[in-house]
Chain A
Amino acid sequence: MDRQQIGVKLAVDVLKLPFQVGTFRDRLIMQKTVYLAQAAGVNLGYYYHWYLYGPYSPSLTRDEFAIAMDISAGMDESEGWKLDDQSSKRLEDMRGIFADLDRDALARKLELLASVHFLIDHKQASHADSRRITTTLERFKKPFTEGDVKGALAELKTHGLL
């Protein structure tokens, strides 16, 4: 694991998520988790493009597989490291996003939160304009209603991400 990969593993550990990349759903959860961690100010160093399921980082996909391979080879090099206190605190503050959901529901929720945040962050919509955000998501064939978007905006604000 290189330093960037160690950062990802530590962040996922602080969020108390399993490090799984075996399925598309697992990788979607990982992609959006890292996106939201960065939105919270934990700079893991991944740059996101807009893709079919919202924000996506190709270099993170490569790193996810490399980390998973090292872990299964018994070489979890993150064990000798810890995240700085400020980053750990920021991650602890967003743990509520991940609580009490099965993996399917979590994947859907994270896709929505990350997509809404990305649209606002890239100035494609205002956070006050849930209708515009919903329309934009519809254009990309996302199955989210305006109610979903309003809920996502509220949750992003609760966790200090907007």
Chain B
Amino acid sequence: MEISIKGLNKNYYSEGKTIAALDQVDLIIPANRIFTLLGPSGCGKTTLLRCIVGLEMPDSGEIAIGGEVVFSTEKGIYVPPDRRGLGMVFQTYAIWPHMNVFDNVAYPLQTRNEPKDDIRRKVEKTLHFVQLDGFEKRPATKLSGGQQQRVALARALVAEPKVILFDEPLSNLDAKLREETRKELRAFLTELKITAVYVTHDRIEALSLSDTVAVMKSGRIVEMGTPREIYFDSDRRFVADFIGRANFIEGRVATVGEGETTVDSAIGAIACEKKINASPGAAVTVCIRPEFIRVLKADHNVGRNIFRGKVESLVFVGDAYEGEIRVGETLLIFRIEPTTAVREGEEIALHFDPRHCSILLN
């Protein structure tokens, strides 16, 4: 089900100051896809999620879930969370410690007074789906972090909600488990074909889980697109910086050609194949991610986007070498194959792939 949000505002007042948690948010969350709200802490992503689910009351605006208006200041509508028919997985999982796994998962059905046999059947089916067969009688607090997480997921899914919401559900797991659970979650959600809204500050989670990513900053949605679009073609420096490590080189547009734009910068002319709506002379920033910098032999000087520099530092991180190259006054970060023969202090040539040089408007 599609969620449409219009002109949503929410302010917090603390010690005489007003903080805009949501600033005039307009958003359409597409149906049956995994939609991620990504942003640094305090950007308003959790507030937006809590407004959708009904735990937070916006100051103004309208929220409709699948065509049904659940909140509107104009029409004076506020549907409480228990009437919205949604499922939610909390950051803390919010597993009730005084109930066993069965009662935790059965709870949404029990609130609807469904027949006992139906409840048993549905709980069994859902627990099977999240691979917790036979866990019904276990006390909820005796489960591991990953298992509690799956109980929370089962509870959110059992009543077959229209929409399922996730508030940073993986942030309490350790790194390895987080990776496994992320893959599982992706598999579950893809199989279910359900509208999922996922809040996270972890870019890898956002990129690997989502069909659509919306990046938020100071209560606004800054940019929205598929993970590839956000990673490769973001228009804003904030987004490009937040979604991954990148080099930013200031410059001015020199020429705008067919399928290629040249930018004059401190390290020389940079050719970029990305499309851009800027005329010559405009101040721009070229963004190049460290993995798209190729290191060549020092005498290599044929072709476009070739620069000379000196390796300032080099760190072996296992699957790659990471380091810094000084080109003139500019320090660039790069990441290369672990087998490459490069040494610290070595003079080298480097090459930017024009297909991966994006231009950000200042």
Q: Do A and B bind each other?
A: no
